[in-house]
Structure 1
């Protein structure tokens, strides 16, 4: 940084051909400007300016440095201005990471609504059901379903994940509605396979304010949430699905909720990011937008 300061002083002197005028422009004393130029000459081992009591002139090396450095300093200044405008402005790119189902059903509509307001903002979206290291991958904002992230990030809870047992009208027309939880044992059901272990996850049932786990007769098992939702919509079987992912289907009647004991709130939806300060305005605005939309 000291060399850059000295180079800045030298360019000011070369422009004005005066230590006094350069000092006024830089807001320092003439002695400080002279010292900075001398430090630059010492560092380079070259004479840059011929000095006399009434006249200054650039040496051949000084003239070449002035020509090259002026262009470089202009490019540096433009780059810094561009970064500052990017930080303060509402144009640029935001990099996001999210689970597959959340990205498809929740994040994509959020992006569409946000870009309707800020069309100059573009998105790179990484979808993965694994925890994403947002620092190493240069991700601005990550989203996670399940438990709160605990890896030195700032985490904001966007909502609860509530499980709901449901089926398509065509399934109910063909097989009927189960009268109670026990009647599920005589019905066709879907199940979800743990992505890492491959084991079938039990259904969660709320009884006496406690969560109990039951296994159902699964006729189709999936390691992908979207595939299981589609199977239940097609009438393959009864499923226990995350309510926030099937809001539209429940509202339209494409899926019918049943058995209130299967409505279990336990996990959460989280947004996380690495820094609390010096966040570009576009990223901060999208964070606030997501909070407003999902907590409304």
Structure 2
């Protein structure tokens, strides 16, 4: 077992990019992980890792050894999960990654009912608009919109959410209500900067099936959707928001949804008609454990048909 533990320390260090990060995945100290790897190298009579102040690299021997032992460590983890969950309810820690807005507005209200149904499952939620890595962050399942999907991930669609362009009644009284996307150039536009790559999230429209992006000069930029939502409610300008963020304020009259088909020329169809598609993602078919499957089934059951 000591040898297996040492091999696991080596594999986790490579996957996480450092001995300290790999140790966190194992739940041990960096010093203990370093000692494990040193014992492994001594038993093999070969150097596996080159440690520098900036990064961790494998030697040629390390690369050969990693290719052989990495599948073994993952197979052992799967075997342990299968035995743990056999003859009973799903159990153990379930680590879920999600964008901040989807996590706050959609996932959070759903968690209490799930944990009541599966009391042996312990939930850890990682809410971030930065890139999520299933391996280095030890994430079981992540919720991503279509543009965030990555090659190699298994993805299953769970929801289609309308996108709404919104402003407060006070702002529209002061600045007027745009009836066509071209008029956005005359308005204060509150735009989202995507934390992953730093780009501004463009405001896109369909015109008789053709893609159209109006010229916009943003009055404010923020990398947090909920802050843009708050700014729109306070009358700072027009924001592009998912329905699950904006709907409550639209219903209470704090926000007005713009470019509805009844109020615009037939030449203009708002991007609200093209929803955000959300997917539940996991690493591969082996990652579909009982607890992951239970959460997937739950999401598909409770996601609304109409937002």
Which TM-score band applies after superposition, normalised by the shorter structure?
Answer: 0.5 to 0.7
1:97 maps to what in 2?
97
Assess if the C-alpha contact under 8 Å between 2:100 and 2:128 holds in 1.
yes
Q: For residues 195 and 278 of structure 1, what CA distance do their matches in structure 2 show?
A: 27
Assess if the C-alpha contact under 8 Å between 2:232 and 2:238 holds in 1.
yes
Closer, same or farther: CA 197–138 of 1 in aligned 2, 3 Å: closer
1:288 maps to what in 2?
297
Is 1:108 equivalent to 2:111 in the alignment?
no
Q: For residues 145 and 129 of structure 1, what CA distance do their matches in structure 2 show?
A: 11
Q: For residues 220 and 121 of structure 2, what CA distance do their matches in structure 1 show?
A: 41
Q: For residues 238 and 129 of structure 1, what CA distance do their matches in structure 2 show?
A: 22
Q: For residues 198 and 133 of structure 1, what CA distance do their matches in structure 2 show?
A: 18
Is 1:228 equivalent to 2:261 in the alignment?
no
Q: For residues 80 and 179 of structure 2, what CA distance do their matches in structure 1 show?
A: 67
SS at match of 1:152: coil
1:41 maps to what in 2?
none
Residue 148 of structure 1: how far off its partner (Å): 6.2
SS at match of 1:165: strand
Unaligned 5+ segments in structure 2 are 1-78, 261-268
Is 1:141 equivalent to 2:150 in the alignment?
no
Closer, same or farther: CA 175–114 of 1 in aligned 2, 3 Å: same
Aligned residues: 218
Closer, same or farther: CA 85–169 of 1 in aligned 2, 3 Å: same
SS at match of 2:204: strand
Closer, same or farther: CA 114–170 of 1 in aligned 2, 3 Å: farther
Q: For residues 104 and 193 of structure 1, what CA distance do their matches in structure 2 show?
A: 19
Q: Give per-residue Cα distances to partners, 1:69-122, cap 9 Å, x unaligned.
A: xxxxxxxxxxx9997354532443211111122111112122133124334432
Q: For residues 81 and 221 of structure 1, what CA distance do their matches in structure 2 show?
A: 47
Assess if the C-alpha contact under 8 Å between 1:190 and 1:238 holds in 2.
yes
Assess if the C-alpha contact under 8 Å between 2:163 and 2:276 holds in 1.
no
Residue 197 of structure 1: how far off its partner (Å): 5.3
Q: For residues 149 and 183 of structure 1, what CA distance do their matches in structure 2 show?
A: 33
Residue 279 of structure 1: how far off its partner (Å): 4.0
Assess if the C-alpha contact under 8 Å between 1:162 and 1:266 holds in 2.
yes
Assess if the C-alpha contact under 8 Å between 2:131 and 2:196 holds in 1.
no
Closer, same or farther: CA 221–136 of 1 in aligned 2, 3 Å: closer
SS at match of 1:291: helix
Larger radius of gyration: 1
Q: For residues 242 and 80 of structure 2, what CA distance do their matches in structure 1 show?
A: 46
Q: For residues 201 and 148 of structure 1, what CA distance do their matches in structure 2 show?
A: 13
Q: For residues 200 and 289 of structure 2, what CA distance do their matches in structure 1 show?
A: 43
Closer, same or farther: CA 126–196 of 1 in aligned 2, 3 Å: closer
Q: For residues 111 and 256 of structure 1, what CA distance do their matches in structure 2 show?
A: 30
Assess if the C-alpha contact under 8 Å between 2:130 and 2:195 holds in 1.
no
Closer, same or farther: CA 170–294 of 1 in aligned 2, 3 Å: same
Residue 203 of structure 1: how far off its partner (Å): 1.6
1:174 maps to what in 2?
174
Q: For residues 137 and 203 of structure 1, what CA distance do their matches in structure 2 show?
A: 32
